Amino acid sequence: MADNLFWVEFGVKVAFACFLICMGLLFVIRRRSKEREQGYFFIGVASFAFLSSLTRIFFLITDFQVEPSDIYNLFWKLATIASLAALVLIAILIETYFVKTRYVFTMFGLLGIGIIILANIALARQLLMPIYLIIGVEIFSLYLYVAIKSPGTIRTKALLMIVSLIIFTLGIILDSESIMQPLVGFDTGIIGAICMWIGLGAYLKLNL
Backbone angles phi, psi at 112, to 5 degrees: -60, -40
Q: Determine the Cα–Cα distance for residues 46 and 24; give it in Å rounded to an integer.
A: 4
Q: In this predicted model, what pLDDT tens digit does every residue of 138-157 receive, in sequence order?
A: 899 989 999 998 888 989 99
pTM over 0.85: yes
Query: Mean per-residue pLDDT for 67-96?
Result: 90
The region of weakest confidence among 44-53, 127-136, 193-202 is 127-136
Give the domain CATH number at 155. 1.20.1070
Give the CA count within 13 Å in the CB-facing half-sphere of 203.
27
Residue 1 scores a pLDDT above 70: no
**Angle subtended by helix axes 152-175 and 177-184, to nearest 10:** 70
Q: How confident is the model at residue 136 (pLDDT cuts 50, 70, 90)?
A: confident
pLDDT value at residue 3: 64
- Cβ atoms of 55 and 82 within 8 Å: the answer is yes
Residues above pLDDT 90, as percent of the chain: 45
Look up the domain containing 51 and give its range.
2-207
Q: How much of the chain, in percent, has pLDDT values that exceed 70?
A: 98
Select from 118, 122, 199, 119 the least CA-distant residue to 163.
Answer: 199
pLDDT digits (tens, 9 = 90+) for 6-52: 788 888 899 999 999 999 999 999 887 777 778 889 999 999 999 99
Which residue intervals of 119-151 are DSSP H helices? Answer: 121-149
Provide the mean pLDDT of the chain.
Answer: 88
Domain count, the chain: 1
